[in-house]
Amino acid sequence: MANYLVGDIQGCDAPLGQLLGKIGFSPSRDVLYVLGDLVNRGPDSATVLRRLVNLGDAARCVLGNHDLHLLAVAHGVRPARANDTLDDVLHAPDRQRLIEWLCQQRLALFEQNCLMVHAGVLPGWTAEKTLSLAAEVESALQGPDSVDFLRQMYGSEPAHWDDSLRGAARTRVIVNALTRMRFCSQQGVMEFSAKEGATSAPAGYLPWFDVPSRQTANVMIAFGHWSTLGLIRRDKLLGLDTGCVWGGCLSAVQIDTSGKCGAVLQVPCLQAQVPGS
């Protein structure tokens, strides 16, 4: 049995199929952990979702900002954006099956001694707290008031976590940290306008993983989301968004039960998109 982490797919099914072939992936034996942004901007979002659905328990995914956006559009609480490529899902004959499956995915996972999120973890959160807060959003997304949750999900305020937060403000901070964050201050205040590499941090901000007081510094974390950052590989940190949809590569890494990662495996993507979030 082998376990693999894979970065942002964003509707690029052909590279995903090539990558699975390259690693010799077998759903009867192996597990694929997808680090969010399964859909959007690429040409085959519905095909990506069908492929992952058909893998059953062999595919375990965390949700990214584009995945949550698809759910909001599908439930009629948010209009599609001009550069969205979600119509193949929205008009699919199996739309309900795909949307229901997406709603059941997680906001954070801890498996193979690795904390998996799409974007980042606030510096004051432990791994245990991250999973607990992620579960609150998962419950809201899967519950009877999911449409209300999606309607109130958008926005960049509050910009920092407070244990006293309740309702939409509370879940919005959780969503933004786990699916949108790149930079934050040492006090955990998030900043969302800067989207370039790590050196583009506005004054007073750092890449979330470089905050000195981060409570998860001794926990292996794998994330995606930050295509302009490129591949990041450190002792306890793995960034796997290598910009497939923007003409880069789709990347995967094998991870063992101790959280140790093997070699980076990549396939090129011939997409010609204009970089975005």
pLDDT, tens digit, 9 for 90 and up, residues 146-183? 999 999 999 999 999 999 999 999 999 999 999 999 99
Report the pLDDT value the prediction gives residue 275, as an integer from 0 to 100. 41
Domain of residue 49, CATH code: 3.60.21.10
Report the pLDDT value the prediction gives residue 277, as an integer from 0 to 100. 42
DSSP H or E run through 139: helix 127-142
Q: Do residues 208 and 199 lie in contact, with contact meaning Cβ atoms separated by under 8 Å?
A: no
User: What's the structural domain count of the chain?
Assistant: 1
Report the pLDDT value the prediction gives residue 169, as an integer from 0 to 100. 98
Q: Over the stretch 70-86, which tens digit does the pLDDT of each residue have?
A: 999 999 999 999 999 99
Please indicate, yes or no, if residue 275 is contained in any of the structural domains: no
User: How many Cα atoms occupy the beta-carbon half-sphere of 90 within 13 Å?
Assistant: 17
| pLDDT top residue among 1 and 6 | 6
pTM: 0.96
Report the pLDDT value the prediction gives residue 269, as an integer from 0 to 100. 86
For the segment 51-61, the average pLDDT, to the nearest whole number, is: 98
Report the pLDDT value the prediction gives residue 271, as an integer from 0 to 100. 59
Residue 273 has pLDDT above 60, yes or no: no
Please indicate, yes or no, if residue 206 is contained in any of the structural domains: yes
Please indicate, yes or no, if residue 75 is contained in any of the structural domains: yes
In this prediction, residue 97 has a pLDDT band, given cuts at 50, 70 and 90, of very high
Give the DSSP letter of residue 201.
P
Residue 10, Ramachandran bin (φ over 0: left; ψ between -120 and 50: alpha; else beta): left
Q: Is 103 helix (H, G, I), strand (E, B) or coil?
A: helix
| 3-state DSSP of 240-263 | CCCCHHHCCEEEEEEECCCCCEEE
Please indicate, yes or no, if residue 31 is contained in any of the structural domains: yes
Residue 208 has pLDDT above 80, yes or no: yes
Long-range contacts made by residues 171-175, C-beta under 8 angstroms, separation at least 24?
171/136, 171/137, 171/140, 174/107, 174/133, 174/134, 174/136, 174/137, 175/68, 175/107, 175/137
Report the pLDDT value the prediction gives residue 276, as an integer from 0 to 100. 43
Sheet of strand 249-255, all strands in order from the earlier edge strand to the far edge: 59-61, 31-34, 3-6, 249-255, 261-268
Residue type, 268: P
Please indicate, yes or no, if residue 277 is contained in any of the structural domains: no
For the segment 246-250, the average pLDDT, to the nearest whole number, is: 94
Please indicate, yes or no, if residue 185 is contained in any of the structural domains: yes
Alpha-carbon dihedral 171, 177, 180, 185, rounded to 10 degrees: 130
Domain of 206? 3-268
Residue 234 has pLDDT above 80, yes or no: yes
Q: Do residues 97 and 53 lie in contact, with contact meaning Cβ atoms separated by under 8 Å?
A: yes
Please indicate, yes or no, if residue 53 is contained in any of the structural domains: yes
User: Measured between alpha carbons, how far is 242 from 246 in angstroms, rounded to an integer?
Assistant: 9
Please indicate, yes or no, if residue 274 is contained in any of the structural domains: no
> Mean pLDDT over all residues of the chain?
95
For the segment 190-215, the average pLDDT, to the nearest whole number, is: 95
Residue 193 has pLDDT above 50, yes or no: yes
Residue 157, Ramachandran bin (φ over 0: left; ψ between -120 and 50: alpha; else beta): beta
Report the pLDDT value the prediction gives residue 274, as an integer from 0 to 100. 40
